[in-house]
Amino acid sequence: MSRILVAMSGGVDSSVAAALLVEAGHDVVGVTMKTYCYSETPSHSKTCCGLDGILDAKRVAAALDIPHYVFDVEEDFTRDVIDDFVQEYAVGRTPNPCVNCNSKTKFKELLARGRALGCDQIASGHYVRVRHSDGGSALLRGLDPDKDQSYFLWAMPKEILPKLLFPLGDLTKTEVRAQARALELITADKPESQEICFVPTGDYRDLLKKRLGDVHPALEPGPLVRRDGSVVGEHGGYAGFTVGQRKGLGGGFPESLFVLEVRPTTREVVIGTRDELFEDTVEISQLNWLAAAPLVGSSVVVQLRYRSEAVPAVVSRLDESLVLALEAPEAAISPGQSAVLFDADARVIGGGRIARGYTRASI
Amino acid sequence: MHPVYLDYAATTPMRDEVRAAMLPYLSDDFGNPSSLHRWGRRAAEGLAAARATAASALGAKPSEVFFTRGGTESDNLAILGRCRALHAASGTTPTLIVSAIEHHAVQDAAVSAERGGEVRRVVLGVSEAGQVDLDALDAALEAGAAVVSVMWVNNETGIMLPVAEIARRVEAAGGTLHTDAVQAIGKVPVSVVDAPVHLLSATGHKIYGPKGTGLLFARTGTTVAPLLFGGGQERALRPGTEDVAGAVGLAAAMRLVVDEQAVESERLRALRDRLEARVLAGLDGVRINGGSAVRAPHISSLGVEDVDGQALLMALDLEGLAASGGSACASGSTAGSHVISALYGADDPRATVRFSLGRTSDQIDVDRAADVLTRIVSRLRGLDGAA
């Protein structure tokens, strides 16, 4: 019988994932990734993978009577996830650290270290499905539309897919909670983790200050400008702004204004009306394909942020980067965020990082 | 799968005799030894007998034995308490001299005292043959009031440090010598008569006694300042209502292992040598850490080339083989061992596996350990490039 390595964060989802595999009779080994130094952030580890997470995962593993280990991946995580997160904000973009963690740290390390433990397959509590067939393995959206996490997995190396198992892909969160209660798992009623795990205070600017130093252009005041170039105010550092953001602009404007663009070279934050937020074209870079890349002229659907509907688009260019013509303009296309492409069957084709959004008419 | 426990240096199962000795004090004889009534007297008698037993096992006087709640506490109390007593007596800042391979309970306490400005800290190098830099010791001793802490048996490698020799030098210089004998008692002869140390730490759970028990031997005339304050128990050196059952268990365990030491050590030594011979015959690229030193008989620390230490220990566990990587401290931590760094340099790339043997260990266990280790290391090396 094959041995399966299951990533356990100490939350309810991965607890149930492990329990389901044990119930199915598999030889299961639980692991928790130690991703950052807990002593630097005492008593704030409410979110997954904090020190309390490790303890909860250990308790769940003990209840399931499976071995549990901690993989110390702090060095890789700091380099590939935290440093990238900080650098992206430093150049005025809004990163998805979970994408990097999944693709560069989590599954890569699980696979490599799992092999050392004789594990052929890797499982996690993500709400996604993977379908294995002779033609290869396909990653699909999770069945629960409220929990689907495929948005965070587009960057995984394609070669890893055949090794993956997602026991929760066909379940809803409600069903998972019910399972956890039925199995009397101590994590059954644990709240959802919302924050970024390495930003336990909830304010990522604290982390930027710590890692960029007190003096950095991204944290220095700069001008708030309109599209026409007129200066309408001052902001406290462009790293605090994301396209579409409304908070922190100071107010005093006759109408509601939103961040349209962040310009790191001039430290300008461009603001404008809700109408100005809409763009009909998106350029995507750092591409990764989990299925055959789409052809120019083909129709796809693309999801431009977590918790938003995927929208129809046509591939208008594909080389180093991908340009998609959206069927209808979208508001707040944020550079740095992931753009994930799906086919009509909810299969993840691939994705990339949004380089920029723009309006076709303007070029 | 036949699970094999070879991690006796981490902790040991309690012996039946020890449990039996403790039980009355966990039920009928529950009194507080400080109480004047008959319940108190019964408890006080138990405590006094335990103190006498523990003292006799070390060659000490009962009045020189202070019960604590563990080896870590004894180590901290010995070095911090002695340094504070010296400071209080003379007003000068004492020199705290520790070997480079001390347990964290000594090493980190020394660092903390240095940061607090309480001591000048000196670290003595140790060679892989177990030789302590005695010239550096002599030089440091010349600087005035000094406390020296050198462990009897190193917990990660089994290396024995020349405590008796160091005791003579410290005595001649008028300094104070503390030794952490946690891994030595029951494994090698430990006598405060033969080795004139001033302070000695011991614990119960490494010798088939209860966890959370320890003692500090403090030679008559060696004053130690308390770290805790309270009701004056243990002559105010370690206040707090005494754990009578724990003290009784610790003393019973000490008496037993000391009485059995000569025979058991020979048995363990033969098993350890067999284990090491089989591993070396089965695998290339394995070093016996501290192999050229005089070693206690129960620990075998192996430096294994070309494998990841974390993965190796996990794979051993999945095969039912309990070992550890150096010491059994904080889970998940991969910080390199200061002991291996001291002996072989900070960039030594080998993975460390420590097997430690005890009462239930037999030939079947060590043969299986050697076979499983050989098989797993060979497999992991075959996964080249997996990471």
Q: What is the CATH number of domain A3-182?
A: 3.40.50.620
> Which residues in chain A are contacts of B319 at CB distance < 8 A?
none
CB B224 within 8 Å of CB B78: yes
For A280-307, the DSSP string reads EEEEEEEEEESSPPPPTT-EEEEE-STT
Beta strands in chain A (DSSP E): 3-7, 27-34, 68-72, 121-123, 128-133, 136-141, 164-165, 222-225, 231-235, 258-263, 268-272, 278-289, 299-303, 311-318, 322-331, 338-342, 348-358
Q: What is the DSSP string of B103-166?
A: -HHHHHHHHHHHHTTS-EEEEE-B-TT--B-HHHHHHHHTTSSEEEE--SB-TTT-BBP-HHHH
Strands B299-304, B351-356: pairing is: antiparallel
Q: Which residues of chain A lie closer than 8 angstroms to B312, CB-CB?
A: 116
In chain A, the residue whose alpha carbon lies closest to the alpha carbon of B311 is A116
Classify residue B387: in a domain, yes or no.
Answer: no
Residue A49 appears among annotated catalytic residues: no
Same domain, B316 and B250: no
Asked if the C-beta of B330 comes within 8 angstroms of chain A's C-beta atoms, the answer is: no
Same domain, B295 and B211: no
Q: Is residue B311 less than 8 Å (CB to CB) from chain A? A: yes
Q: Is B276 found in the same domain as B181?
A: no
Among candidate residues B194, B224, B257, the one where a domain is terminated:
B257
Global ipTM: 0.83
Residues B219 and B103 in one domain: yes
As annotated, the residues of chain A forming the CATH 3.40.50.620 domain(s) are 3-182
Nearest to B332 among A29, A67, A70 (CB): A70
- A69/B contact by beta carbon, under 8 A: yes
**Residue B277 belongs to a domain:** yes
B339: domain range? 4-11+261-382
- In B, minimum Cα distance to A114 occurs at B311
Which residue of A34, A54, A69 is in closest CB contact with B314?
Answer: A69
CATH 2.40.30.10 residue window(s) in chain A: 276-362
B81 and B194 share a domain? yes
Are A113 and B380 a contacting pair at CB < 8 A? no
Tokens of residue A100, six digits? 């990097």
| Phi, psi angle pair for A209, to nearest 5° | -60, -40
pLDDT tens sequence for chain B (387 residues): 789 999 999 999 999 999 999 999 999 999 999 999 999 999 999 999 999 999 999 999 999 999 999 999 999 999 999 999 999 999 999 999 999 999 999 999 999 999 999 999 999 999 999 999 999 999 999 988 999 999 999 999 999 999 999 999 999 999 999 999 999 999 999 999 999 999 999 999 999 999 999 999 999 999 999 999 999 999 999 999 999 999 999 999 999 999 999 999 999 999 999 999 999 999 999 999 999 999 999 999 999 999 999 899 999 999 999 999 865 544 444 567 899 999 999 888 899 999 999 999 999 999 999 999 999 999 999 986 544
- Pairwise CA distance, residues A142 & A140, whole Å: 6
Same structural domain, B102 and B115: yes
Query: Residue B313 sits in a domain of what CATH number?
Result: 3.90.1150.10
> B186 and B44: one domain?
yes
Catalytic residue among A48, A49, A98, A197: A197
Q: Classify residue B301 as left (phi > 0), alpha (psi -120 to 50) or beta.
A: beta
Kindly report the nearest CA distance between residue A281 and chain B, in angstroms.
40
Residues B283 and B228 in one domain: no
Q: Determine the residue type at A110.
A: L
User: Under an 8 A CB cutoff, do B311 and A116 touch?
Assistant: yes
Boundary-marking domain end, from B228, B257, B286? B257
Boundary residue ending a domain (B203, B230, B257) = B257
3-state SS, residue B344: helix
Residues of A in contact with B334 (CB under 8 A): 72
Do B118 and B229 have their domain in common? yes
A70–chain B Cβ distance below 8 A for any pair: yes
CB under 8 Å to A245, separation ≥6 — which residues?
A258, A259
Rounded Cα–Cα distance for residues B383 and B381 (Å): 5
Q: How many domains does chain B have?
A: 2
What CATH code is assigned to A276-362?
2.40.30.10
Q: What topology is assigned to A220-273 in CATH?
A: SH3 type barrels. (2.30.30)
Digit-coded pLDDT (tens) for A320-345: 999 999 999 999 999 999 999 999 88
Considering the entire predicted model, what is its pTM? 0.87
Is A107 at the interface with chain B, CB within 8 A? no
Return the residue matching tokens 């004789």. Answer: A118
Supply the DSSP string of A154-189, one letter for each residue.
Answer: TTS-GGGGGGEE-TTTT--HHHHHHHHHHTT-TTTT
Residues of chain B in contact with residue A116, where contact means CB-CB under 8 angstroms, are: 308, 311-312, 314-315, 380, 383, 386
Residues B226 and B338 placed together within one structural domain of the fold: no
